[in-house]
Amino acid sequence: MPQLEATPEIDFQSELYKDAYSRINAIVIEGEQEANDNYQKLADLLPNDKDQLIGLARMENRHKKGFEACGRNLSVTPDMDFAREFFSELHKNFQVAAAEGKIVTCLLIQSLIIECFAISAYNIYIPVADDFARKITEGVIKDEYMHLNYGEEWLKANFEASKAELEEANKANLPLVWKMLNQVADDAQVLGMEREALVEDFMIQYGEALTNIGFTTRDVMRMSAHGLAA
């Protein structure tokens, strides 16, 4: 069913909506907080880009504040315990990679996978959001494209040296995205966001990113297929 048809029927004050929102809103808030931490860590790992990366981290902090306001606006208390658990595996993989100085893996996790996840979720959310949250999300998504672009440009400039690590990091982390998406599909549906639409938009963003970095269409197909069955 085209998700736009659902728009007029959404009751943003129903208990069903607010219950689902308490988890989706928490995921977004936690995601923005972790994105802030991740760009600060990347600023340490990439001293030449330090100022730019600190700038990206600051944007993530603003996003977090914006989404906290969206929850308050609907009188929803975000379920932060759920959200921390939701991100825990991806979070752990980023921490381990950062501790080992694996910049390529860190960039794949944050600037490609998480940014594409954010862009697809925000794209699908905007048409079904309440007016307050729509305005916030429209402002945020422009920044997320800049974050994705940072990762693309760095990895493109270092493509040959990064290729093997990117393939390995993709294999380890892409399946987590499908697992995470499946975990929130029912809540997303309540908000008017179709799982199919989320998957499609993610695949388009991620495939475009891998192509921009320098992977062939064949590589992109193979890499995107990882973990799809999970």
Query: Residue 223 and residue 216: Cα distance in Å, rounded?
Result: 10
Q: Are 107 and 151 in contact (CB under 8 A)?
A: yes
Buried b (16+ CB within 10 A) or exposed e, 111-121: bbbbbbbbbbb
Per CB under 6 A, does 152 bind ligand Y39?
no
In this structure, how many other beta carbons lie within 10 angstroms of the beta carbon of residue 13?
A: 10
Per CB under 5 A, does 63 bind Fe ion?
yes
Spell out, one character per residue from 197 to 216, where the chain touches ligand Y39: x when CB under 6 A holds, - when not. Answer: -x------------------
Query: Residue 20 and residue 14: Cα distance in Å, rounded?
Result: 10
Going by C-alpha positions, the residue among 105, 108, 91, 93 that lies closest to residue 150 is 108
Rg of the chain over CA atoms, in angstroms? 17
- Least distance from ligand Y39 to the Cβ atom of residue 147, Å: 5
Task: Give the nearer residue to ligand Y39 in terms of CB position, either 41 or 147.
Answer: 147
Spell out, one character per residue from 195 to 224, where the chain touches Fe ion: x when CB under 5 A holds, - when not. Answer: -------------x----------------
- Least distance from ligand Y39 to the Cβ atom of residue 83, Å: 9
- Least distance from Fe ion to the Cβ atom of residue 5, Å: 26
Count of H-run helices and E-run strands, the chain? 9, 0
Task: Give the nearer residue to ligand Y39 in terms of CB position, either 103 or 124.
Answer: 124
Task: Give the nearer residue to ligand Y39 in terms of CB position, either 73 or 219.
Answer: 73
Interface residues with Fe ion (CB under 5 A) are 32, 35, 60, 63, 144, 147, 208
